[in-house]
Structure formats: C-alpha cells, structure tokens
Amino acid sequence: MPSSSHSGSGAAAPGPAPASPGHEQPRQRIVEAAIGLLESGGRDAVTTRAVADAAGVQPPAIYRLFGDKDGLLEAVAEHGFATFLASKRVDPDPPDLIEDLRAGWDLAVEFGLTHPALYTLMYSEPSATASAAYRTGIEILRGRIRRLAAAGWLRVDEELAAAIIHATARGAVLTWLSLPEGDRRSALLTALREAMVTAVTHAEPAVRKPGPAGAARALRAALPDQTALSGAEQHLLREWLARLATEG
C-alpha cells in the first residue's frame, strides 16, 4: 500500500473518496482511460493529465475519486483482477481433475499474455493481495487443489501446491514477456505447465476411492513408515482412521 503523506500538523492527507452511484460512471471512465494508456504506452504513460484528457474529466476529479495517482493505479489493478475473475470458467465437478488444473493454469497465463502491461501492474502493486477479486481467485484455485487432495492426486500439501501453481503461472508470463519475440516458443509454456503438474500431483491417484474413507485407508496404510508421531499418537490416529475407513 502507498504510504500516507502527512502535513506539518501531523494530519493524514485525505484518501480516495468512496464510490457512490453518482460517481461510478466517471470513476469507470477514468479507470478504463488509464488502462488504455497503460496498454498503449506503459506505466509512464499513465499521468494524471493524460488520464484526465482521455477520460474527458478535469484532473481534480481523479484526486477526488482516487486520492492520488497511486490510488488510481490500485483501482486499475483491482479492475484487472475483476476482469480476470470474470473470465474464469469454474466447474464444481470436473470430469478430469488434472485437465481442470491444466485449463486453469492456461487461462491465467493466457490472460497475462493478452494484457501484458495490466498483468505486470496487477502483480507489482503492494496492495494486490488485498484485492477482493484477487482473494476470490485464490479461493477458486484452492477449491481446485482441495478436489485434487480429496481424490488422492495431490503430491504436496495444499498451501505449497497453491504457491507452486501461482508462482509458475506468473513466472511463465513474465519470462515470456522478457524474451525477444523471435525467441518465444509455445513449447516453453507447455514445459512449464507440465513441470507444475508433475510437482504438485501424482501420476496415479494415491486414493482410488474418493471421499474420507478412501483417504483414511491410504493414510492408515502409510502410517507405519512415518516417524513424526510418537507411539501413543500413532495409536490414537490409527483408531480415528479405522473409524473413518469403515464408513465407506
């Protein structure tokens, strides 16, 4: 988040005004104008004067609605996350969980390659993770991962899987954009995606039957090989797993 500036009296500078129905139309026009300038000329092209001219408003309107240029850029990043979120096709019960994982990764990378300047801004803003749309997108990703875990496909824990998927997609986009156009090969994106799939999933599901009973049986079978639990803890866990296993 941009740091607040202070006057000599110690009073904080006013932040962006909250959006109201009467403000929404010029606010949207200003954000769209900023995105147009960003995508045509890069971040340096997004000046207060240029945005005001493109949106057909006076510069004070930007300060009134967004607080300052940093506030405007945060609103542009939030709009980018919301646009990406709207493009997500979420199947709550996909027929092939691994293909669903690939499709979600491909969609994220495609958005970044289609909107390079906007994507770079979205992930360079310190407030990115505070975006409501960003958090919703992360929850969709976690839902995918949870389904993989429940079906026995997940190789690593859920938090690490989310970090790997997110990092490889961002890395793929930023690496692709850094390459000269003549060196950009689709095989690079395919290789990075498949490396991600290999890192987070098993070649075959560890649990053959979905649901807690199948997962309990798989964990109970692996229990003798672990060393993290004491004998008493293993005994108690074995009891719990036995109860869950018999419910299936």
| Alpha carbon distances (Å) from 170 to 98, 117, 181, 184, 197 | 19, 13, 18, 16, 15
Task: Report residue 31 as tokens.
Answer: 């954000």
Residue 222 binned pLDDT confidence (cut-offs 50, 70, 90)? low
Task: Check pLDDT > 60 for residue 206.
Answer: yes
Residue 89 binned pLDDT confidence (cut-offs 50, 70, 90)? confident
Count of Cβ atoms closer than 10 Å to residue 66 Cβ: 25
> What confidence score (pLDDT) does residue 13 get?
38
Q: How does DSSP classify residue 161? A: H
Longest dimension (CA), the chain: 73
Q: Calculate the average pLDDT of the chain.
A: 82
Task: Check pLDDT > 60 for residue 11.
Answer: no
Residue 225 binned pLDDT confidence (cut-offs 50, 70, 90)? low
pLDDT tens string 25-73:
889 999 999 999 999 998 899 999 999 999 999 999 999 999 998 899 9
Task: Check pLDDT > 80 for residue 201.
Answer: yes
pLDDT tens string 162-178:
999 999 999 999 999 99
Task: Report residue 104 as tokens.
Answer: 């979600």
Task: Check pLDDT > 50 for residue 194.
Answer: yes
Q: Do residues 229 and 194 lie in contact, with contact meaning Cβ atoms separated by under 8 Å?
A: no
C-alpha 73/C-alpha 17 separation (Å) is: 15
> What confidence score (pLDDT) does residue 243 get?
80
**How would you class 151 by CB atoms within 10 Å of its CB: exposed for 0-12, middle for 13-18, buried for 19 or more?**
buried
Residue 217 binned pLDDT confidence (cut-offs 50, 70, 90)? low
Give the residue with greater pLDDT, 139 vs 241.
Answer: 139
> What confidence score (pLDDT) does residue 204 get?
82
> What confidence score (pLDDT) does residue 123 get?
84
pLDDT tens string 99-154:
999 999 999 999 999 999 999 998 876 666 677 888 888 888 998 998 888 888 88
Residues 6+ apart with CB under 8 A from 100: 91, 94, 144, 147
| Alpha carbon distances (Å) from 108 to 2, 35, 113, 140, 141 | 27, 19, 9, 12, 11
Q: Do residues 164 and 214 lie in contact, with contact meaning Cβ atoms separated by under 8 Å?
A: no
